Amino acid sequence: MKLLITGGAGFIGARLARTLLARGELAGRAIERLVLADLVAAPDDLRADPRVQVRVGTVLELAEQLNGERFDGVFHLASAVSSECEADFELGLRSNLDSTRALLDALRAAGNAPRLVFSSSVAVFGSDPALPLPAVVRDDTLPTPQSSYGVQKFICEQLVADYTRKGFIDGRVARLMTVSVRPGRPNGAASSFLSGIIREPLAGQEAVCPVSPDTEVALASPANTIAGLIAVFEASREAFGGRTALNLPALTVRVQDMLDALESVGGSQARSLVRFVPDDTIARIVGSWPARFESPRGERLGLKADTDFRSIVEQYLRDFPAAVRPA
């Protein structure tokens, strides 16, 4: 089968590509071709695989060039991130809404109704003054997004549902949770510290935690996020159930629990590298995110949240041993 991953050079996209190449098959069919499309070329290890083809450019450019090209499956992960969309309104609409629509139209034009997984986000949930977010987010909780990024993701959810209803694609939408522990450098995202307070101390560096230790957050490990995307792709239409977006499973932890896990893995020395420097802006943003989920739809698909945060830290150690400085 021939697959396309947009955002295929990003952290999640490249990891999904590695997992798929290692499996060799998806939904019972051998993977013969894996097209990784992104603004930059995918990492070298992926490009070395003869099944991989790299395409560099925007999703709008990609869609324009498809010209009836058929894929058996698509993971549409490419997206402008939330801080970009908030800073540049047009960029968000173009990179998220227009791009997704152009991709869906190109897939429709190919005429083979390919299976497609679209990565939406927990950022569709926010607290509207008229309709505060409930304490527990369920499968039928109304998203009232409070950011352009969340609005654009939620709009794309609707497009994927309707292109699917019309039979143009076989689309499924998975809402990703905050992924932790991410490798690499801190970024401008409000959620950046949720990886940083683990990653930096394990590398022997200081990290700043801008929220109180009893703040609750909903997280998923990189491996569990990938497993969720694959399970949603492989589900039968009946098992997925309907065309409404599905919340991937989330582990609810307090920041305190995260630091306990850090200490149990990296020692008290690692933990001592985390300083609490309250930042009201970040605390307000993080506090507006849902922290508790009940997701029977995901459970029926066999999706499970990570069991505990310690196992997530251990996953990071296994995946990125070079990023860790021995205590």
- Sign for the CA dihedral angle at 237, 235, 298, 84 comes to negative
Binding test (CB under 8 A) with its own copies, winner from 12, 37, 123, 159: 159
Q: Examine residue 247 and tell whether it contacts its own copies (CB under 8 A).
A: no
Q: Examine residue 83 and tell whether it contacts its own copies (CB under 8 A).
A: no
Binding test (CB under 8 A) with its own copies, winner from 71, 154, 233, 316: 154
State the catalytic residue, choosing from 71, 75, 149, 293: 149
Neighbours of 239 (CB within 10 A): 13
| Joined tokens for residue 2 | 């021939």
Segment near its own copies (CB under 8 A); pick from 29-37, 155-163, 193-201, 209-217: 155-163
Q: Examine residue 151 and tell whether it contacts its own copies (CB under 8 A).
A: yes
Q: Examine residue 104 and tell whether it contacts its own copies (CB under 8 A).
A: no
Euclidean distance between CA atoms 30 and 46, whole angstroms: 17
Instruction: Tell me if residue 149 is catalytic.
Output: yes
Whether the Cβ atoms of residue 177 and residue 220 lie closer than 8 Å to each other: yes
| Joined tokens for residue 191 | 């959620």
Q: Examine residue 148 and tell whether it contacts its own copies (CB under 8 A).
A: yes
Q: Examine residue 285 and tell whether it contacts its own copies (CB under 8 A).
A: no
Euclidean distance between CA atoms 303 and 297, whole angstroms: 9
Q: Minimal distance in Å, beta carbon 243 to its own copies?
A: 6
Q: How big is the chain by its Cα radius of gyration, in Å?
A: 19
Question: Which of 287, 312, 289, 313 is closest to 210 using CA atoms?
Answer: 287
Binding test (CB under 8 A) with its own copies, winner from 28, 68, 129, 326: 129
Euclidean distance between CA atoms 45 and 124, whole angstroms: 34
Q: Examine residue 178 and tell whether it contacts its own copies (CB under 8 A).
A: no
Whether the Cβ atoms of residue 1 and residue 70 lie closer than 8 Å to each other: no
Q: Count of residues binding its own copies (CB under 8 A)?
A: 30
Q: Which residues does the annotation mark as catalytic?
A: 149
**What is the contact surface with its own copies in residues (CB under 8 A)?**
89, 128-131, 139-146, 148, 151, 154-155, 158-159, 161-162, 165-166, 240-244, 246, 297
